[in-house]
Amino acid sequence: MRATPGGAGPKRFPGPASLRRGSRGQLLDNLGHRLRHGGRVARALLSSQYALMLEYRAETALWALSGILPFIMLGIWDQLAVAPAASGAGGPDAAGIGLDRVQLSRYFLCAFVARQFSVAWVVYAFEEDALQGRLSPYLLQPLQPLWRYVAAHLAEQLTRLPFVVIIAAVFFLLQPQAFWIPTPARFLAGVLAIWLAFTINFLLQSCIAILCFWSERASALERLLFIPYLFLSGLVAPLEVFPPAWRAAAHWTPFPLMVAFPAQLLAGGPVAISASFTAMAGWIALLLPITVLLWRAGVRRYSAMGA
């Protein structure tokens, strides 16, 4: 019990009072010190979590494989795209669903990739830690415990990378006509979008995870949240095939930003880039304070398991 909050607190955190007293130089010094310290903590966390995740490579491979839903749905939509028009229904997309097959393949592959690198499981990890009492020591450490989960997720994404590359390679072997290389601009924007999608997903799940402080069944809530995510994010159908009214309704939720937007960016499809990035920033700006406030309220209520 090295870091009892009362004893070590003032020494460890200089706090606003000392900042006010210090001159400008001291303030910069202080900032530099904090940044260096933060960098060291981040490096230590990431490397230890990566080492831990490497131990669970087989599990990670299976998690990667369990995200095959977009490929199943590609099968369905591909068949619909080649299906002949229904009894001369006419209209602009009488030939099918209005997306060509190559574009469809690329979209679902990118949806798979976007899902792989934006998936969050913090609610399950947090629930287990809370139920097994591991959370209490984490709370005593001078580090917001959620950062630990962020590091775990990032490390897991790194271990996932080779498996995703393998799955994508197999996909291109089976569908060589769908092979393409995104333009560098689209690729960078896509990577950024996937990370922002991960941030939104992580914050959303963290809010639910923090509810563990009040209820032991927070993961059930996550199960319910997954349902609109599944149908509105673009995992089971490209949003382009939705009727306009549905699409408009879906865009009021964060879900299309989490899969469909990064996927279309990477696949080179039509996409409202600046509007979507703005919306993502908006969701993060909304969710971040909620997470922080919920966390503070939750910790105040926390009395360890079994109390």
Partner 1 sequence: MAGPLRYWRTLKRFWGSALASQMEYQINLLIEVLAMVGNLGGSLLLLWLIYGRGQSLGGWSLEAALVVLGIYTLLDGVSSTLLRPNLGAIVTHVQQGTLDFVLLKPIDSQFWLSSRTISPWGLPEIATGLVLAIGAALHAGARPGVATILGGALMLASSVVILYSLWFVLATTSIWFVKTWNVTEVLRAALSAGRYPISAFPAGLRTLFTVVLPVAFLTTVPAEAILGRSSGSWLLLSLAVATGSLLFSCWFWRLALRDYTSASS
Q: Which residues in the 2-41 window bind partner 1 by CB under 8 A?
A: none
CB of 275 to partner 1, least distance (A): 24
Q: Which of 43, 217 has the CB closer to partner 1? A: 217
Nearer to partner 1 by Cβ, of 35 and 224: the residue is 224
Minimum CB distance to partner 1 smaller for 29 or for 59:
59
Residue 192's nearest CA partner among 118, 254, 255 is 118
Asked if 95 is part of the footprint of partner 1 (rule: CB under 8 A), the reply reads no
Q: Which of residues 188-217 bind partner 1 (CB under 8 A)?
A: 217
Length of the chain: 307
Which three-class secondary structure string do you get for 246-268?
HHHHHCCCCHHHHCHHHHHHHHC
68 binds partner 1 (CB under 8 A): yes
Structure tokens belonging to residue 259: 């899969």
Given 8, 86, 248, 249, the residue binding partner 1 (CB under 8 A): 86
User: Considering the rule CB under 8 A, would residue 83 count as an interface residue with partner 1?
Assistant: yes
Contact call for residue 227 and partner 1 (CB under 8 A): yes
Asked if 100 touches partner 1 (CB under 8 A), the answer is no
Residue 230 is a binding residue for partner 1 (CB under 8 A): yes
Binding pattern for the stretch 242-271 against partner 1, x by CB under 8 A and - elsewhere: xx----------------------------
- Do the Cβ atoms of 80 and 99 come closer than 8 Å? no
Q: Is 228 in the site for partner 1 (CB under 8 A)?
A: yes
Interface residues toward partner 1, by CB under 8 A: 56, 58-59, 62-63, 65-69, 72, 75-76, 78-80, 83, 85-87, 89, 96-97, 174, 217, 220, 223-224, 227-228, 230-231, 236-237, 241-243
